[in-house]
Structure 1
Amino acid sequence: MKKHILVISQYFYPEQFRINDICNEWVKRGYKVTVITGIPNYPQGEYYEGYGVFKRRKEIYNGIEIIRIPLIPRGNNSITLALNYLSFVISGFFWMIFSRLRADYVFIFEVSPMTQALPGVWYSKKRKIPCYLYVTDLWPENVEILAGIKNKQILNGIGLMVDYIYNKCDRIFTSSESFIKAINERGVEVEKLEFWPQYAEDYYKPVKKDQTSVIEIPDDGIFNIIFAGNIGVSQGLDILPKVAKILKKTDSKVRFNIVGDGRFKEKLIKMIHEEDLSDMFNFIPKQPPTRIPEIMALCDATLISLSKSKVFAITLPAKTQSCLACGLPIIVSADGEIQKVIKRAGAGVCSDAGNVEDLAGNIQKLVRMPKSDMRQMSENGLRYYKQTFDKNKLLDRMDYWFGRK
């Protein structure tokens, strides 16, 4: 009989998160997989077309059973976002109370908010089955630093919730090595913690220029840099107009290709127009993830950028693995953990978050760099990816824990 994994994730297909591929792989490995998730609304803050409280609440995706519990869309302000988080927990509580579903394990995919873990913890306690938590965003640090909440009572309350979740989980996996120290400092024994990095989906791989039909990026000799993903405040892209200004003064022929959508996009476009830098930017609408490697094939380097914060300094964004797997030199504008990885791999150039001059200097360095050195960076990154983030090795390790009762 197939072992049954119950996945709790507030975000799931058609929203694009790595848990989609993890669940696909578990089905291929012979598990039965059921996902409890919300009605898709990320990142735009509105329900996706064709979905709603009374539409497509259950569906099958690649053999995965999806159960969508009601939640309030994220909207575009802090109040609706808080209601979005809370509504998933309330719906999850009632689902847990009345559900007859029987699983062997609970796996919680924790990107913010941590609150989404509660229904999974409650279900595992009710059914007396193992509960595994995968931490990719650190709470309450994320709330304090990124949301700017300073009220001690609120933070202490969130801290108590986080400690309760950690205590009730049988094992905690982390996407960043630095998270282990941070969670251990909350009183969780090290033996309960394990670094389990994210991997990139199989379609993230090097693509040759002559194999792509991309028309969104001109092949005109300009040095093309790509940023693909969510365009939010957390990504720190407000640095780019300042960097572009420096590059323009030095007559560096550079184009920033920004692929995606998000809350900060309109403001970023406005900043670029105000500085008369539109000729150095190319905005491309959000694309299916499978197209990203093709678009990257027409670029010379890829950018990973984060805002300055203590949380981001110990975070390894999932984008890191995607960029390494595609074999492009990587430009980092972020602190801490990601710099360690890229330097260790020899796969690119790094500057601290918010450092305009150093980022501009690194881009100029790449523009002037011999093609052979650029190729070496690409090869280094690809080699490091295969050694460190191999999908099968990581899934084999998770199989070990699913083999225990």
Structure 2
Amino acid sequence: MDIFVLYKEDYPWDVRIEKIAKSLRDRGHNVTIVARNLSGNSPVAESDGLPIIRLPVIGAANSLVRKLANVPIWFNPFWIRTLNAAISGSENPVIIVRDLPLVKTALSVAKSRNVKVVLDMAEVYPYMYASARMFSKGLNLETLAKSPSMAARYESKVLPKVDHTLVMIEESQDRVLNKGIDPGKVTIVSNTPPATKFSGTAHQHQGRNLRLVYVGFLTKLRGLDLLIKAASAYVKMGNEPSSLKIDIVGKGSERENLINLVKELNLEQSVTVHGWLEHEQVDQLMAQANVGALTYRVCPHWNHTIPNKIFDYMLAGLPVLATEVKPIERIINETKSGLVCRDNDVRDIAEKLQILRSPETRATLGANGVSAVQSKYNWANDERRLHAVIDSLENQVKFR
């Protein structure tokens, strides 16, 4: 089949988009990514063997005209025209829409054509917007546009109209089913890694020094300030600053605040806030680490999605240090692959760090994580579910 992955950001790169696109391509489908073009790249390109069709280059770089032309809102004519042109030569295309904003765009294009539309619900937008508002600095134009109530109404209108919905985790599936959506039209395709992602010997846990790693965006919701404050509490418990090293990798609105917090608490010896690093550098830090950190603030958004990093940590043999976010807590407790801390409790995080000083504890938790990913939480299993969805849609088209 001709499959078009509609992505509201610039591409490359996104790990989930890449996994889905390559998996379907390797299955024999013709896969094209239709993406934003805020960077002003060539409207027609290729990345790692995947064709890309981008929005046209409108206006100068960083101009308001360019930004408005790329806004991922369903009635934006540039998105509608680009998607229409992309699928124009296909008889029975499938559009996989990454996340909520452009679903109605796909549905409007699909109206006059024989098109199947699949929503890839990587994020639950009403909850994501509501959770972001919890830590925003008052209402502004952006937060007003990202209205949780408007997103909920929009979602309620489009969910019954799409042919299938992919969700990330059981909690998200339950939420969609509670809205009355046919269970046969909802499938979990999670954000798991290939079981071969970290080839080689299992991580060897030795010594009582701790080296934590966090890789991802740096926002208030991700609770990295809690982790840094816990590092200070850990040192005050009598541990040498040199016995703890935390590498925080990523970009985002909280980066400068985190750097300042490290200085304020005199933790330069223990905590490094990096910028965004290349994959090879991240892999090096993962190899040097002996704990993976996910001290997110508990909120409805995190309770209905799952970060791919939990599975990366597990597969790398790193015990996971996390807060009681529902899907993360459930997976850690099920697999016995880490320790769960109380939400917003700096002292509890520090006490869990004390427990993880034991190399035997880290080795046991790490080995449990590796086993769980190799047997269950890996892309081969999620890929099978993805293929089953597309096969079902293909059969519907054939026997119409």
Q: Deviations over 1:296-337 (max 9, x none)?
A: 111111111312312212322222222222221111134211
CA distance in 2, matches of 1:228, 1:82: 31
SS in 1 for 2:288: coil
In the alignment, the residues of structure 1 paired with residue 155 and residue 57 of structure 2 have an alpha-carbon distance, to the nearest angstrom, of 21
Query: How far does the alpha carbon of each residue in 1:162-199 deviate from its partner, in whole angstroms, 9 at most, with x for none?
Result: 12221221111210100122223333233322222222
Residue number among 325, 329, 350 corresponding to 2:315 in the alignment: 325
After the TM superposition, which residues 232-311 of structure 1 pair with which residues of structure 2 at under 5 Å, given as runs? Answer: 232-252=219-239, 253-311=243-301
Alignment coverage as a number of residue pairs: 375
- 1:243 CA drift (Å): 0.7
Matched, 1:134 2:132: no
Does the CA contact (< 8 Å) of 1:207 and 1:326 recur in 2? no
Structure 1 residues 30, 166: CA separation in 2 closer, same or farther (over 3 Å shift)?
Answer: same
Residues 200 and 321 of structure 1 are in contact (CA less than 8 Å); yes or no, is this contact kept in structure 2? yes
Conserved 8 A contact 1:92-1:119: yes
Partner of 1:166: 159
Shift of 1:13: 3.6
1:95 aligns with 2:82: yes
For the residue of structure 2 that corresponds to 1:127, the secondary structure is: coil
Deviation at 1:380, TM superposition (A): 0.7
On the 8 A contact 1:178/1:314 being kept in 2, the answer is yes
Match of 1:43 in 2: none
DSSP-derived class of the 2:340 partner: strand
2:389 maps to 401
Q: 1:391 to 1:289 in 2, by over 3 A?
A: same
Do structure 1's residue 175 and structure 2's residue 159 form an aligned pair? Answer: no
Cα distance change, pair 153–142 in 1 and its aligned pair in 2 (3 A): closer
Q: Which residue in 2 is equivalent to 1:386?
A: 374
Q: CA RMSD in A?
A: 3.2
Q: 1:331, 1:262 → 2: CA distance?
A: 21
What secondary structure does 1:126 align onto?
coil
Matched, 1:225 2:225: no
Q: Find the partner of 1:14 among 8, 12, 16.
A: 12
Which residue of 102, 108, 111 corresponds with 2:97? Answer: 108
5+ long unaligned stretches in structure 1: 41-46, 212-218
Contact in 2 for aligned 1:238/1:268 (Cα 8 Å): yes
Following TM superposition, by how much is the alpha carbon of 1:230 offset from its aligned partner in structure 2, in angstroms? 1.3
8 A Cα contact 1:21 1:201, kept in partner: no
Cα distance in 1, alignment partners of residues 313 and 154 from structure 2: 34
CA distance in 1, matches of 2:71, 2:221: 19
Q: Please, what TM-score do these two structures have when normalized by structure 1?
A: 0.83
Q: 1:334 to 1:261 in 2, by over 3 A?
A: farther
Specify which of 129, 153, 169 is matched with residue 143 of structure 1: 129
RCO comparison, higher one (Cα < 8 Å, 6+): 2
Match of 1:69 in 2: 55
CA distance in 2, matches of 1:355, 1:90: 48
Quote how far apart the aligned CAs of 1:107 are.
Answer: 1.3
Aligned to 1:215: none
- Please give the alpha-carbon distance, in whole angstroms, between the structure 1 residues aligned to 2:307 and 2:22: 21
Q: 1:393 to 1:101 in 2, by over 3 A?
A: same
Please tell me whether residue 37 in structure 1 is matched to residue 25 in structure 2.
no
Deviation at 1:64, TM superposition (A): 1.3
**How far, CA to CA, are the matches of 1:347 and 1:185 in structure 2?**
30
Task: Pick the aligned partner of 1:123 from 106, 109, 132.
Answer: 109
Deviation larger for 352-361 or 139-148: 139-148
1:376 corresponding residue in structure 2: 364
Q: How much has 1:153 moved relative to structure 2?
A: 12
CA distance in 2, matches of 1:28, 1:12: 23
1:68 partner amino acid: R
Q: The residue matched to 1:310 in structure 2 has which SS?
A: coil
Paired residue secondary structure (1:11): strand
CA distance in 2, matches of 1:373, 1:221: 11
* Structure 2: unaligned runs, 5 residues or longer: none
Q: Percent identity?
A: 18
CA distance in 2, matches of 1:282, 1:220: 21
Aligned-pair CA distance for 1:375: 1.7
Instruction: Give distance in 1, aligned partners of 2:155 and 2:102.
Output: 11
Q: Deviations over 1:347-386 (max 9, x none)?
A: 111113322111111111101x2x2332221111011112
